[in-house]
Structure 1
Amino acid sequence: MRRLKKIALSIFFIFVVIALFILSYGYFLKPKYDGEIRLNSIQKETTVYFDEYGIPHIYAASQKDAMTTLGYVHAQDRLWQMELMRRIAPGRLSELFGSLMLKNDKFFAGLGIDEDSEKAIAQLDKNSESYQLTMAYLDGINQFLEEGPTPIEFQLVGVKKEKFTIKDVYNIFGYMAFSFAMAQKSDPLMTDIRDELGMDYLKDFGIDGSLAHTKLKSFKGKSETYSEISKSVASLLENSPIPPFIGSNSWVVGPQKTKSGKVLFANDPHIGFSQPATWYEAHIVTPDYEMYGYYLAGTPFPLLGHNRDYAYGLTMFENDDMDLFLEINNPENENQYQTKEGFKNYQIIEKIIKVKDSSDVVLKIKKSHHGPLMNGLIDGLKEDKPISMWWTYLQHKNQILDAVYALSHAKNVDDFHQSIELIAAPGLNIMYGDAKGNIAWITSGKLYKMPENVNPNFILNGANGEDEEKEYYDFAENPYAINPEWNYVYSANNQVEPIDDYLYPGYYLPEDRAKRIVQLLESKNDWTKEDFMKMINDTQSSVAPSIVQSILTGINQTNLSETEKTAFNELKKWNGSNGLTDVAPTIYNQFLFYFLKNTFEDELGEDRFKILLSTHLLKQMIASQIANENSPWWENSSTKDKIESRTEILSLSFKQAIAQLEKKLGNQVPSWTWNKVHTIEHKHPLGEVAALRNYFNVGPFEINGSNEIINNLMFTFTEAGNHQVTAGPSTRRIIDFSDIENSVSILPTGQSGNPLSKHYDDQAVMYNEGKFRKMKMNRKEIEASSRKLVFKPKSK
């Protein structure tokens, strides 16, 4: 008996020791939110107050000291995210994850972002304030890298620490710019449809010329299944550990339409969800500068921000700034390609991609004057049909660092407007409001006009010299509205007005969100911050009810079962709401999958149908295609000697949807509530390992919202009907210039990327419930509710 007690005590003692070790080890790895740290490079003591959500409020004697401190605190919360972000563009993820990321690395290494970053840095003015502050920020990151604890992800994956450089900053901005582009997803698929099915099949997409102001010419040829490009690029972005930028909402209301007589500003950029979340918040105060900003990991200046004088944010312009060209090789020399002037030599570059626990991979990259060949960078392309990628971002002087610096240091609305000219790509809708009552919507991007007979929605002819001609607009021609007479501006990735009677090509999203925003803004002239808080969480569709009525008129109502009749009536009375307990959105979205599958899959095949589901073009055409009785897509190519009618497709799709929902949720239609099928989980790259999922991932949660409503919580249609949200508002911000110190915001999970920090997920429930927290700017209030971390200069 005594022996058993000794054994039990020994085991207990071992567990206590292990527990103490884990606790002490975990404590060591946590971010440091109070106490004192000594830093090189700062000239005077700098104080950081971390509020109750872990947001740093940095009070410094100079901007340079503030930026060094920002780099340090940013790194202690987000170093792992920074590491991933800086590795994507140069193709260095395989060093962490092995061959699993080799496809991503080959593609991005071949694009040329890394080389463009080097070129941009060589042209920088090293005496400029933007450069000096960037170097101070990097110095702060690197001091944490050297002296701070190593994040647990580094230890699990086995990452060797490397100092951050200014090229990392440019590469991060370069990846962001690429993730905005849509041509590589859509153009190859549209080319296949044109070549295999004919232009009539493109009328429902609006790219046959029927919705354009120009005559379009197709470069017809034998089908080469170019949609392999769409498939591969979509897969690479979906499997990237850092999610792409997708859409966004923003609206700014002038003094004439607010209760307070001051500007109100709202913005919620739509980005793929991940853990940690995209944005890092920080509030900087110096004698000559103040900014409450939202930062990408590893970047020194905020893309979203506000202070007491002005606020700015962004959405995607969705303009077309990328073209794909079919090159023609010299039959006598595969290293040459045809141009209008004759054959030219490809530029040939070799790169080494290091792969963890495997041999290095030698990547051979060919470039025409248009850009890099996709052949060899992605799977499925034949070597004798080279496809090159032309991208605005790589074709013009890269001034992105100066641009983002200028946005966060503007003096007035005119100064802000002019700074946007520095952004050649990506195309953005940049929103602005200020304390003086000014409001603005301004588009960025080097815009151009193509010849009338060239349709940029298809792969172009790289040999004739005509398809590459571009007439560039002056920046003054970029669409904008400053203090319009209707007293508000907005953007929801919708089509912009024609420029000089030219409807600028792009991959715009449907009218749904824009229409709802305008409906709401027009209805009131006494807007308040509280009204905006409700509006930014709005779950009502302004378009879906009319689509539903079009569907219902096309369904054959004879021989409907009782369950089908009940479901039919749920749709009939639906007002477009997508709340947790609504039933109609469950039926509607399940129906949409079967409608899309029955309409498009027989012509496209399974793989290309899946590609179509991920494009903006599909979202654009659903409403018009459902209503179009003469659409060629109604014909089912798999049925012999029979033309399928719109009624047959809609009726079949409705019956299949109800059968699937009965199987999944039972036969009681009132129990088919939206919360049972619409869920969200914020996934960490290491959460893909089952044993680590609960430790690193946040969720899953039931959540309201849906595709293409203001509360745009996005998912891809699936037969199973598990609408797992993959993207949505990366933050919701509302700036009230009548009460600037009580403006509000929220993040999807939390401020910290360190799973040991209590701020890793402390905003998740609030976000799901549509709640907000203050973006504090009052120093006394901040000091009263914060922990204090003091940074002192190291003694020399």
Structure 2
Amino acid sequence: MKFLGRFFKILLILVVLLVVSVWMYSKTYYPKYSGELELKNISDKVTVYFDDIGVPHINAQNQKDAYVALGYVHAQERLWQMELMRRIAAGRLSEIFGKDLVRVDQFFGGLGIEEAAEKTIAGLDKTTQSYILTQSYLEGVNQYIEEGKTPLEFTLVGVEKEKYTIKDIYNVFGYMSFSFAVAHKTDPLLTEIKEKLGDSYLNELLNSNNEYLTINRTSIPTKIEATFSKTVASIMDDLPVSPFIGSNSWILGPEKTKNGKVIFENDPHIAFSQPSVWYQNHIKTPDFEIYGFNIALMPFPLLGHNREYAYGLTMLANDDLNFYVEENNPADAAEYKTVDGYKKYELRDKTIRIKNEIDTTFKVKVSKHGPIMNDLITHIIDDRPIAMNWVYTQLPNEMLEVSYKISHAHSMSDFKSGVARIHAPGLNVMYGDAKDNIAWFSSAKLYQLRDSLSSKTYLNGASGNDEILEFLPFEENPKAINPSWNYVYSANNQVDSVRGKLYPGYYQPQDRAKRIVELLDKKNDFTKEDVANMTYDVKSSTVAEIINSLLKSVDKSGLSASERKAFSILQNWDGDYLKTAVGPTIYNRFLYEFLSATYKDELGDSFDLFINSQLQDEVLLNQIERKSSVWWDNVATKNKIETRNNIVQESFKKSFSFLQNQLGENVDSWTWNRVFSVEYEHAIGKAGGLLRKLFNLGPYETIGGNEVINNQIFKLDSTGYYKVTAGPSTRRVIDFSDVENSLAVIPTGQSGNVFSKFYKNQTKKYLQGEFVKMKLNQTEIEQSENVLIFKPME
């Protein structure tokens, strides 16, 4: 017994020592929120007030000092995130994660992002404020690297810190632009359908009925192989940071609000991760103020506001990426055909450094249209050279100046001149101000091809007939400025006509746009609280129509009592994706079975790509309404012609059987929260086990679903469980009648440091549809408990 007593005492001491050691260790990694530090390259004292959610309010005597301080505090919270972001476009993930990410590095390293960055940087005017302040920001980041604590993640993966340069910032711009593009997922699939199945199959997918579009209207005032696409999709899924996806925004003119001032809303949809995408910060100097949301390594916010104006963005979804089939010289594979004769491919040598492995090298072959993708992605089943022509790398890059200009605008016309310089990615830029102006600008370098040429399948690179004829002037882009209907909005939906035709792109279906318009048209006395509640709306504007069309083809006489109950629940579901609702559980399984029965036999392995694509969303209503379709007949069955009724009846039966096996006999217990959840994953937490428990947040129950305003994006698949992968990366509501009490929330917290109290402090509020204040009142800010003072280095 004495031995056991001594053993337990020793064990207790060891446990206490371990706990104390972990606690002391965590304190060495804890960000510095108070006290004094000396900073190089500042001329005067800078005071940083960290508010109760961890947002730094940076007070400085000049902008240069403010941006040095911003770089330092941004790095102490998000250095690991910065490290991942800068490595993607440069093809350097294998250095820290090993050989499993070689294909990702090979793909991104070959896109030409780095070469485009080098060309842009060589031509930069180093006397501009955008350049000077960017360098100040980098000085702050790099000083933290020199003097600050090394984040735990660097220690765990064994990577050394490296200083950052402006090239890293342009690499982040490049990654952001590519993740917005959709054509790389869709064009190869459509080409395969055309070449293997024929025009009749392709035409049913491309010829959508405009009846099912909610078009973002222009209003200008008189004043003022599918293996290819599957591989690219899986590469994007493998990335350790968030790709950009969609978004909502709406801005109410004074005529639509109770207090007679503009109310601004924006919630960009981005893949969920931990830490969150945006880093909030507030800079104030005697001549400048902005409350911004910054991406890692970006000095100027892409979302922001002050007392004078607010701005945000959604994805435009225009087609800024095309594929060209090149024709090699039969006598020399190093040359390709052009209208002016054969030209030599440009060859770029690339090296990938791999953790614990020998370096690997590869060559990128580049035509005038862009890199040959066959050499970048293994297992492309196409003997023809396929070149990727991407507007981002083809035209001058002014995104640094754009981000500076929109965060430093002095009027709406000044702001407009900034967004007019955006070339790619295409963005819907949203604007509202204290002078009662509201605006939406579709901002991108739109272009013209010859009539009748579709950019959604491969183009002919040798003929010279499929080239871009011209880039359109910005004034021809769709836009709305102070429209007569007194609001502007965007939900990645189809934009208005350009030169008499709807501009092609990869727009999201009308669901969110239709719901936003429904709600905005209902009243003219919106308050900030109304708008905040609207961001959390989970009612689908289209599922009732879809369900009604599908259920017409179900023969109820052949259903069991339990099946009839499921039928009734689905028929009476109002489209709300609530935790206790049964309708969404039945509907999403029914939808999966219907899509599988319709398309899988023709598409084969490519079906998994199609089912979760923008293309599938776009064609769904048209397909459901078709009485006859080439897609209805199952090519695997001989001597039997399937009809729409056969497909729908069989799909409903399969859905019921699956759910009964998955969730039990009681249909009423098939609630949405049993199959639907969200987890905010850290790049290292994806490894599972203790690392998952330490770094990841969740899984949590939540409300929402695909293409509702509270867009909780998930993939339909055979499992019957729906893991949310993306959604609102922040929700922001700015009321110019009470700008000091404007609202925001992010999914997790300000800090990427797992030991910080701000690592997950907004998670509960976000999941419950609540908000925190974006503080602008100086007196309130100065009451902060945490104050960090930067002094010039003596």
TM class by shorter chain equals over 0.9
Deviation (angstroms), 1:202: 2.4
Q: 2:636 aligns with which of 629, 635, 638?
A: 638
For the residues of structure 1 that align with 2:90 and 2:360, how far apart are their CA atoms? 14
Contact map agreement 1:185 1:234 (CA 8 A) in 2: yes
195-204 or 638-647, which moves further after superposition? 195-204
Q: Specify the SS of the correspondent of 1:270.
A: strand
Contact map agreement 1:237 1:243 (CA 8 A) in 2: no
Matched with 1:690 is 688
Matched with 2:338 is 339
Deviation (angstroms), 1:582: 1.0
Deviation (angstroms), 1:203: 3.2
Matched with 2:90 is 90
* Aligned: 1:495 with 2:494: yes
AA aligned opposite 2:709: I
Q: Specify the SS of the correspondent of 2:374.
A: coil
Matches within 5 A, 1:198-277: 198-207=198-207, 226-277=225-276
Matched with 1:669 is 667
Structure 1 residues 588 and 477: alpha-carbon distance in aligned structure 2, compared to 1, 3 A threshold = same
For the residues of structure 1 that align with 2:645 and 2:570, how far apart are their CA atoms? 17
* Aligned: 1:74 with 2:77: no
Deviation (angstroms), 1:632: 1.2
For the residues of structure 2 that align with 1:710 and 1:504, how far apart are their CA atoms? 24
Instruction: Please give the per-residue CA displacement for 1:610-641, whole angstroms capped at 9, x wherever unaligned.
Output: 11023201111111111111121111101101
For the residues of structure 1 that align with 2:753 and 2:315, how far apart are their CA atoms? 29
Contact map agreement 2:581 2:672 (CA 8 A) in 1: yes
Contact map agreement 1:86 1:172 (CA 8 A) in 2: yes
For the residues of structure 1 that align with 2:205 and 2:494, how far apart are their CA atoms? 14
| TM-score for both structures, normalised by structure 2 | 0.97
Contact map agreement 2:208 2:622 (CA 8 A) in 1: no
For the residues of structure 1 that align with 2:4 and 2:537, how far apart are their CA atoms? 64
AA aligned opposite 2:627: E
Deviation (angstroms), 1:453: 3.2
562-571 or 4-13, which moves further after superposition? 4-13
Matched with 2:163 is 163
Instruction: Please give the per-residue CA displacement for 1:16-46, whole angstroms capped at 9, x wherever unaligned.
Output: 3333222111101011111111111111111
For the residues of structure 1 that align with 2:396 and 2:207, how far apart are their CA atoms? 31
For the residues of structure 1 that align with 2:623 and 2:303, how far apart are their CA atoms? 37
| TM-score for both structures, normalised by structure 1 | 0.96
Matched with 2:459 is 460
Deviation (angstroms), 1:306: 0.3
For the residues of structure 2 that align with 1:243 and 1:86, how far apart are their CA atoms? 13
Matched with 1:31 is 31
Contact map agreement 1:329 1:384 (CA 8 A) in 2: no
* Aligned: 1:291 with 2:290: yes
Matches within 5 A, 1:69-468: 69-207=69-207, 226-381=225-380, 384-468=383-467
Structure 1 runs not aligned, ≥5 long: 213-225
Matched with 2:750 is 751
Q: Specify the SS of the correspondent of 1:325.
A: strand
Deviation (angstroms), 1:6: 5.1
Structure 1 residues 758 and 210: alpha-carbon distance in aligned structure 2, compared to 1, 3 A threshold = closer
AA aligned opposite 2:649: S
Q: Specify the SS of the correspondent of 1:275.
A: coil
Q: Specify the SS of the correspondent of 2:499.
A: coil
Contact map agreement 1:200 1:208 (CA 8 A) in 2: no
Deviation (angstroms), 1:207: 4.5
Matched with 1:653 is 651
Contact map agreement 1:713 1:725 (CA 8 A) in 2: yes
Contact map agreement 2:443 2:477 (CA 8 A) in 1: yes
Instruction: Please give the per-residue CA displacement for 1:122-156, whole angstroms capped at 9, x wherever unaligned.
Output: 11111110001000100100111111111000000
AA aligned opposite 2:167: K
Matched with 1:480 is 479
For the residues of structure 2 that align with 1:774 and 1:102, how far apart are their CA atoms? 43
For the residues of structure 1 that align with 2:542 and 2:737, how far apart are their CA atoms? 34
Matches within 5 A, 1:17-56: 17-56=17-56
For the residues of structure 2 that align with 1:4 and 1:630, how far apart are their CA atoms? 80
Matches within 5 A, 1:509-588: 509-588=508-587
Deviation (angstroms), 1:2: 6.0
AA aligned opposite 2:678: I
For the residues of structure 1 that align with 2:341 and 2:207, how far apart are their CA atoms? 32
For the residues of structure 2 that align with 1:167 and 1:493, how far apart are their CA atoms? 30
Indicate the percent of aligned positions where both proteins have the same amino acid.
Answer: 52
For the residues of structure 1 that align with 2:359 and 2:669, how far apart are their CA atoms? 55
16-25 or 80-89, which moves further after superposition? 16-25
Structure 2 runs not aligned, ≥5 long: 213-224
Contact map agreement 1:199 1:208 (CA 8 A) in 2: no
Contact map agreement 2:228 2:381 (CA 8 A) in 1: no
For the residues of structure 2 that align with 1:560 and 1:370, how far apart are their CA atoms? 57
Contact map agreement 2:704 2:711 (CA 8 A) in 1: yes
Q: Specify the SS of the correspondent of 2:497.
A: coil
Instruction: Please give the per-residue CA displacement for 1:629-683, whole angstroms capped at 9, x wherever unaligned.
Output: 1121111101101111111111111111111111111111111111111110011
For the residues of structure 1 that align with 2:650 and 2:10, how far apart are their CA atoms? 68
Instruction: Please give the per-residue CA displacement for 1:689-714, whole angstroms capped at 9, x wherever unaligned.
Output: 22211111111011111111111101
AA aligned opposite 1:363: F
AA aligned opposite 1:110: G
Instruction: Please give the per-residue CA displacement for 1:506-525, whole angstroms capped at 9, x wherever unaligned.
Output: 00011111111111111111
Structure 1 residues 12 and 471: alpha-carbon distance in aligned structure 2, compared to 1, 3 A threshold = same
For the residues of structure 2 that align with 1:343 and 1:100, how far apart are their CA atoms? 38
For the residues of structure 1 that align with 2:283 and 2:193, how far apart are their CA atoms? 52
Contact map agreement 1:202 1:208 (CA 8 A) in 2: no
Matched with 1:628 is 626
Contact map agreement 2:447 2:468 (CA 8 A) in 1: no
* Aligned: 1:740 with 2:739: yes
Contact map agreement 1:374 1:387 (CA 8 A) in 2: yes
Deviation (angstroms), 1:328: 1.0
AA aligned opposite 1:666: G
Q: Specify the SS of the correspondent of 1:422.
A: coil
Structure 1 residues 210 and 738: alpha-carbon distance in aligned structure 2, compared to 1, 3 A threshold = closer
For the residues of structure 2 that align with 1:502 and 1:177, how far apart are their CA atoms? 25
Contact map agreement 1:50 1:787 (CA 8 A) in 2: yes
Matched with 2:222 is none
The root-mean-square deviation of aligned C-alpha atoms, in Å, is: 1.5
Contact map agreement 2:179 2:244 (CA 8 A) in 1: yes
Structure 1 residues 382 and 341: alpha-carbon distance in aligned structure 2, compared to 1, 3 A threshold = farther
